[in-house]
Amino acid sequence: MNTDTSTFTTHLQNAAQMRREDRLSEAILAAEAALAWANNFGNEDLIAQANLELADLHRYVPNTMQAFQAAGLAIRHLKKTNHQALARALVIQGMVLGDMGDHNRALDVYHEALALLSRPEHQDLGQEAFCYGAIGISCTQLGDFEQAEDAYVHALAYYSEIGNQATECHLWNNLAIIRTRQIAIAQNKGTDTAFLVTQAGNFLLEAERINQTLDSVFVKAALCNSRGDLLRVQHQLEPAAQATQAALAAYRELNLPRGIVDALTNLGEIRLEQDDLPEALALLAQAAKIVGQHDLLDHERKLLELQTRVFEQHGDYKNALLAFKRFHQLALDMQQLETQKKLQQLALRQEIEQVASENRDLHERQATLGRMAFEDALTGLGNRRAFEAWFVQHPNAEFALLVIDIDHFKKVNDTFSHATGDLVLQRVAILLRQSMRQTDLVTRFGGEEFVVILHQIKYLNTAFDNAERVRLEVQNYNWAEIHSDLRVTISLGVVLAEKDVGVETLLEQADQHLYTAKREGRNRVVS
């Protein structure tokens, strides 16, 4: 038997690369070539790996039954050998179940994957994050937005750390989807939605910022579709239509039926709200044709509900009744599972807690991942993401910014060691935090740079006085506790928030003042 697996590996690597480039049809051919090679040599481990890759690819297309069958074949073998890839295979199978509309069964499979990942031989933070991302999708579909958001934040912390930009974008997009659904609910209750709208917009902006580097058509399509949905719930119908049409064009370019149906359905809903009934009917008919060729039950339910409304408004009561009957049948098919939804969600929470309590190391890593999104690991201060989140939570706030650098910090590292440099960073962080009020935010942007938000500061001289007090605290601290020859000072740039001046512009202005302080000899405040 040929033991050289390089050909198999090349096929799978090609499939992975093509998927990253949104070339899904070619990726499937490459994965099928890998499977053919593995079948030819009877290597069950490689057969399972190839089937796992095919399951994930078919899920994206979607070829739902092929995906489900491939995942099942992979799981069957991987369970025999207790293979490391088993957790991933379970999650993919759960995601296929979600695509078929069975999110409760999907959560059961995710339970099994999480329990597996709690075992020492299967612990894998990447697969755990992958599982939590999938949990977020199912919980969103089941309407448990709080648990969905917790799951997405957990996954986002990991993917941000390793620099997986595509997944970061999708997770930010999913958070925006949650907010958009919450906006619709709040509107029905007559409650204020301004904060939710701001958060949803910021989540999409973050994803769009990351995708500027990534330049993924797939990500762009998803973000345009979500942007259109957000604009629609704000009743900005024509901009919503333009964003959704851009998404539709991108999905068609990628030949992704699920995305095309999403965009067509959303565009049909927009046209319905614009009272353009013929166009709404035409768009929904296009979507229905594609749904008929694929197992997209989640999409079909929404589509049938919209078709019923459009047919009624169009006076076509016969087709309205047919659409309603089909919708009602789908609802009956899922009713038993839906009535168990709350119990399933409680069971999920309980199992997550049980897994954490049974494995303290895993629990600590989970807690660490949860903090990573908003906390600097070395100093415990907030990071840049915490800085950005502050402005979402405090719209239209009065504030001042301090941008702070430790003077000659490179010399500290070179002269006394990097370990001493870390102690200096931690001690400066403590001094900054102790010198500020509880309502202020102290963050570390990286290296020796800190940024402080002084909340409810109206006058520049007040901000300057605060900065000068902090400078003296650092200058007068007994640095000999760390090393007898150590002396540490800081330089600060100060700006006051102005109306219609963006945060990035304020940061640039404060940076300029900081550079002036350095040019003028350091250990000073410039505003």
- The contacts of residue 522 (CB under 8 Å, 6+ apart) are 407, 408, 489, 491
Quote the pLDDT of residue 348: 43
Residue 5 clears pLDDT 70, i.e. is over it: yes
Q: Is 34 helix (H, G, I), strand (E, B) or coil?
A: helix
Helices (H), 256-408: 257-273, 277-291, 297-314, 317-339, 341-358, 360-372, 384-393
Token pair for residue 497?
């928030």
pLDDT in tens, 279-298: 877 887 787 777 766 655 55
Residue 489 clears pLDDT 70, i.e. is over it: yes
- Strand 441-446 to 449-455 pairing: antiparallel
| 478-487, long-range: CB < 8 A, 24+ apart | 479/424, 479/427, 482/420, 482/423, 482/424, 482/427, 483/416, 483/420, 485/416, 486/412, 486/416, 486/420, 486/424
> Highest mean pLDDT range out of 132-141, 316-325, 331-340?
132-141
pLDDT in tens, 220-252: 999 999 999 999 999 999 999 999 999 999 998
494 strand-pairing partners: 402
pLDDT in tens, 327-357: 555 455 444 444 443 444 444 445 445 544 5
443 — pLDDT class (breaks 50, 70, 90): very high
Of 439, 521, 435, 515, the residue nearest 470 (C-alpha) = 435
Comparing 302-316, 352-366, 369-383, the range with the smallest average pLDDT is 352-366
Quote the CA–CA distance of 408 and 427 in Å, as a whole number. 16
pLDDT in tens, 71-105: 888 888 888 888 888 999 999 999 888 877 788 88
Quote the pLDDT of residue 90: 92
Quote the pLDDT of residue 119: 87
pLDDT in tens, 180-192: 999 999 998 898 8
Residue 12 near residue 31, CB atoms below 8 Å? yes
Of 126, 46, 56, the residue nearest 83 (C-alpha) = 46
| Consecutive H or E run containing 523 | none
Residue 244 near residue 228, CB atoms below 8 Å? yes
pLDDT in tens, 387-408: 888 887 888 889 999 999 999 9
Cβ atoms within 10 Å of 120's Cβ, excluding its own? 8
Residue 19 near residue 53, CB atoms below 8 Å? no
Quote the pLDDT of residue 334: 46
Q: Is 497 helix (H, G, I), strand (E, B) or coil?
A: coil
Residue 214 near residue 169, CB atoms below 8 Å? yes
- The contacts of residue 275 (CB under 8 Å, 6+ apart) are none
Portion of the chain with pLDDT greater than 90, in percent:
37
Specify the residue for token string 């930009």: 165
Of 460, 524, 438, the residue nearest 489 (C-alpha) = 524
Q: Is 394 helix (H, G, I), strand (E, B) or coil?
A: coil
Q: Which domains does the chain have, with CATH numbers?
A: 384-526 (3.30.70.270)
Give ∠ CA 342-344-345 in degrees, rounded to 5: 65
pLDDT, average across residues 433-452:
90
60 — pLDDT class (breaks 50, 70, 90): confident
